[in-house]
Amino acid sequence: MTYLVNNPADFVDESIDGFVAANSNLVRRVPGGVVRATRTPPGQVAVVIGGGSGHYPAFAGLVGQGLAHGAAMGNVFASPSAQQIYSVAKAAASDSGVLLSFGNYAGDVLNFGIAEERLKAEGIPCRCFAVTDDICSGPADKASERRGIAGDLTVFRAAALAAAEGKSLDEVYEFASHANDRTRSFGVAFSGCTLPGASQPLFTVPKGRMGVGMGIHGEQGIEEVDMPSASDLADMLVDRLLDERPDGAASPRVGVMLNGLGSVKYEELFVLYKRVSERLEAAGLTLVQPEVGELVTSFEMAGVSLTLFWLDDALEKAWTAPATTPAYCRGGVALEGEPRDDADLAAAHEEETPDASEDSKSDAAGMLAVIETIQAKIEAEAEDLGKLDAISGDGDHGIGMDTGARAALSAARRAVEKGCGAGTVLMRAGDAWANEAGGTSGALWGLGLRSVGACIGDENSVAAPVVAEGVVEATDAIMRLGGAEIGDKTMLDSMKPFSDKLAEEVKAGTPLRQAWRRAAEASQQAADATANLAPKKGRAKNHSDKSIGHADPGAISFAMIVSAVADTLESLHEDAA
C-alpha cells in the first residue's frame, strides 16, 4: 500500500476521487466526502456517517440505498473537519433533517458537534449519535466513554431503516441508540499498520505475542498475551463478549460480524469463524445473517474483531434489510429518489467579503500578524510537539498543528487582501485551520479562532474587553462541545486558566498587552502542571502510565502559542506608539 503513495498529503482526496469514479452509479463526490447518487426523498431523514480515512469500506463504501445517505471523510485516522461534515450533510439533507453518526472519538465528537450547531443555525434539524461498541475501551459502568469500532455498522443499519420508513429525526436517533445499546465488539492485533508515506508501523507487537483491545487508528492494545491458536482466539473473543451480554437482551438471536482489519484475509477469517459459530451455538444462541470479511479496516493491520448484535424483532428487521452500496450489498433494493445533477452538487466556494469599517480593516493587519506569529512558532516546535504526543498518543500533534496553522495563515492573508475586517480574518483563519488539520486539535483551534473573531466583528476597533469576551466564549464552546473538564489532561487545562486570568486582568483595567502576558504566564504554569495528571480523555487515557511525568502536548502547545502572541501584541503596541 505505502509504495504507491508518492505524496501522502494528496492521498485522501485522490483515494476518494478514485472511489467515486469506480462507483459513480451509486455515489457522487461533494466537498468533504460522498453522497448517494440520488437525492434524499422529501420526508426522509438523511443519515450521514463519517470518520477518518484508512478504514475502507468504512465510511464511503457504506453510502447507498439501505444504508447511509452520505459520508464525511477526514485525513488518515483523523476526524473530518466540521466544514467537511457540514458540506456533506447539507448536500444529503432533506426537509426532515440529518442524523450524524460516527465512532466515539474526541475529534469526531467535537467536529460533528460543531457541524450540528451550524446546521441547526441554518434551520436544518440535526442530531449527533456516537457509537460505543468497543468493550476494551472502557468499563461497563462507563459505556458512554467507549469508542466505536466495527459495531458502528449495526447502528448505521438501524438508523438507515428507521429513516427509510419515514420516522422522525428523534425516532431515528432513538432507534440508533437502541441498536448501539445492543452491540458489543472486541478486537485483537498481531501487528500494527503503516501510514501512507511512513517508513515504519505505528506500533509493533513482539513475535509470538498478540495485542488485546487495540484501536482502529493504530492505538496499541491494553495488554499483550501469547499468540493463541485459532480455536483459542475464538474462545477468547466469544467469552469476553458473552460476559457483556446487554441488559434486557432476552432473545437468543444475534447478528454476528467477524471483521478483518486489513491483513487477516478471508480464508483465515473463515477458519476462525468455524469455532466462533460453534461456541455461540453451544451457548444457545441463534446466529442471524453472519458477516465475515472486512467491514472496518486499519490499512494493513493484522488483526480481527468480533461483534455481537443482540436482536429483537425491530433490530432483526434492520439487520436483515436489503442494502446496495459500493462495499455492502444484501438482497435487492431499487434506487429511490431523483438522480442528482451537477448543479445539485455544486458548492459555492467563492467567499464574499463582508462589509467592514475602516478601523476594523486597519486592525485586520494586526490579526494577520498574530496568525503569522502562531504559524512561525508552531513550525519551529512541530517536531518536539510530535515527540511529546508520541509518548502516549499517536505522535501526530505537531504535524496536525503545523498543517492547520499554515492553512490558517493562507486564509488570513487572502482575507486581508480582499479587505475583510479583523473579525472575518480570524474566523476564516479558524475555519481553514479546522478544515485542513482535522482531528481534535484542528477542531479546537478552529473553534477558538472563530469564536474570538465572531466577538470582535468587523464594525469596531479591536478592544480588550471584546477580546477577553471572545476568549471566554471560545473556552466555553470547547468545554461544551469537547466534553473535557479541568484535570482531564487536555488543552483545556492551560486554556481555562488563560481565559480566567485574561478576563480578570481586563476587568481590572489592565491594558490588553499586559493582561495577555500575565494570562500567558498562568497558562504556561498550568500546562507544565499537567505532567502530574493522568489523562481522562482521548487515546492517551488507555496508556496513562506512559503519560504520567510528561505534560499534555495540547496544553503545552496552547501555552507556547499564547506566549508567542504576547510578544507580538507588545510589538504592535510599540509600532503604534
| Catalytic option among 217, 349, 397, 573 | 217
Specify which residues 53 forms β-bridges with: 76
In single-letter form, the type of residue at position 558 comes to F
Q: Are 226 and 266 in contact (CB under 8 A)?
A: no
First to last CA, the chain: 58
Taking Cα atoms as reference points, which of 135, 260, 148 lies closest to residue 186? Answer: 135
- Is 550 one of the annotated active-site residues of the chain? no
SS3 190: strand
> Which alpha helices (DSSP H) does 191-306 contain, by range?
230-242, 266-282
How far does CA 44 lie from the centroid of its chain?
25
d(CA 534, CA 187): 25
d(CA 44, CA 93): 9
Q: Are 100 and 159 in contact (CB under 8 A)?
A: no
For cell 466540521, the residue is 82
d(CA 495, CA 28): 41
Specify which residues 258 forms β-bridges with: 292, 306
d(CA 10, CA 74): 12
Query: Which H, E and C letters describe 107-159, residue by residue?
Result: HHHHHHHHHHHHHHHCCCCEEEEEECCEHHHCCHHHHHHCCCCCCHHHHHHHH
d(CA 268, CA 270): 5
Provide the angle, in degrees to the nearest 10, between the axes of the packed helices 422-437 and 358-390. 30
Taking Cα atoms as reference points, which of 194, 223, 229, 228 lies closest to residue 211? Answer: 223
d(CA 271, CA 276): 9
Q: How many CA atoms lie within 13 A of 249 on its CB side?
A: 24
Which residues participate in catalysis according to the annotation? 217
